[in-house]
Structure 1
Amino acid sequence: MFLLSNTQMARISQFFPLAHGLVRADDRRVISGIIFVIRNGPKRRDVPMSYGPHKAIQNRFIRWSEMGVFGRIFVELAKGGGGTEETMIDATHLKAHRTAASLLKKGLFPSISDARKAA
């Protein structure tokens, strides 16, 4: 099980929103669960229970993403790094579905295609 250390939690906990009402699940476990999902790619419901309820991981990730919490954390963590002389380029690509090429022929992109619209 991967858990953030006390030092790591101290650096990012200042950006967590305050809890309102009910006591929320342990921040260390849930944030570690979010990192586990991002690193390993399983669906949130497949995350081990040691990280807490999968619904808490999903809800907190969505809610905090919309609030910009993770963006502020990344900016703060990036400040600590020095300058770099390397540039990394991501070569990720997505494979289009085999029917994606037919959309142009069917006229589903009228600003690009002069073809008749599909009936």
Structure 2
Amino acid sequence: MPARYELTGAQWNEIKDLLPGKAGDRGRTAQDNRNFVNGVLWVLRSGAYWCHMPEKYGNWKSNHKRFTRWANSGVWEEVFCVLTEDKDNEYLMIDTSIVRSHQQAASGKGGPKNEALGRSRGGLSTKIHMSVDSLGRPVRFILTAGQANDAPQAERLLEGVQATFVIADRGYDSQKIIEQIEETGARAVIPPRANRRVKRPYDKELYKKRNLIERSFNKLKRFRRIATRYDRKAVYYKSFLYLAASLMWV
């Protein structure tokens, strides 16, 4: 991958102080953090095996081990959470997207059990449940098996989030979800289901803004390791997701 796919100076300045090993931390200072993150980005964007990582990023085994260590300790998630503290709360949009899983994602000890993998119409898959802010930037992710229903995850996506309007498609039209939204002081912009006896009104012009979350999914899926799941462990796939989403904030 050419250098244009690596972190720019401005992007690096936004995240460098959020990573382990920075000056002032206990232990060894990680002077190669930027090169390491660029190596991870190469894997994320290309979808290639770690062992095919260009030599300029260092030993691939060491980088893979470091990536998994940071994933298990929540580093990638913490970076994402810090960046999303400055979100725009006028609108909150929620939706889901199916990701096909490569057969290697189900290999290994334990198989797909408890790793957000399941069978849907497209075969082995994972479903990304996501919320985005008014600018279409991701603010929260939940992973489930591909056959999971969308509505049950809405409560977790909405928990603790403040917004003026919550925009979602009719798949989230349930009384429980509507009440949860209204309890926060927000207005639900959700089309009523066809089988509703009493049609609940909604703002059709505001609903058009829902395209922002669809465009956000499209941006994330430009990364090949997001568009197709190769990682057996959900924590590793989600860590790649946090990294890709973080780039949309810097």
Coarse TM-score class (shorter-chain normalised): 0.5 to 0.7
Contact 1:3 1:29 in 2 (8 A): no
In our comparison, the structure showing a higher alpha carbon Rg is 1
More RCO (CA 8 Å, sep 6+): 2
Runs of 4+ in 1 over 6 A off after TM superposition: none
Unmatched tracts of structure 2, length 5 or more: 102-122, 125-250
Matching of residues 46-61 of structure 1 within 5 Å? 46-61=52-67
1:58 Cα shift?
A: 0.3
**For residues 56 and 80 of structure 1, what CA distance do their matches in structure 2 show?**
34
**For residues 6 and 100 of structure 2, what CA distance do their matches in structure 1 show?**
31
Amino acid corresponding to residue 14 of structure 2 in structure 1: R
1:9 aligns with 2:15: no
1:20 Cα shift?
A: 3.2
Per-residue CA distance 1:42-92 (angstroms, 9 max, x = gap): 111111122222123202101111221111101112223424454342122
| TM score, norm. by length of structure 1 | 0.64
Q: Which has the higher strand share?
A: 2
Amino acid corresponding to residue 20 of structure 1 in structure 2: G
**For residues 53 and 81 of structure 1, what CA distance do their matches in structure 2 show?**
37
1:29 to 28, 35, 40: 35
1:69 to 65, 75, 78: 75
Cα 1:29–1:85 shift into 2, 3 Å: same
Amino acid corresponding to residue 89 of structure 1 in structure 2: T
Contact 2:51 2:60 in 1 (8 A): yes
| TM score, norm. by length of structure 2 | 0.33
**For residues 64 and 4 of structure 1, what CA distance do their matches in structure 2 show?**
18
Aligned counterpart, 1:101? none
Give aligned-pair identity as a percent: 23
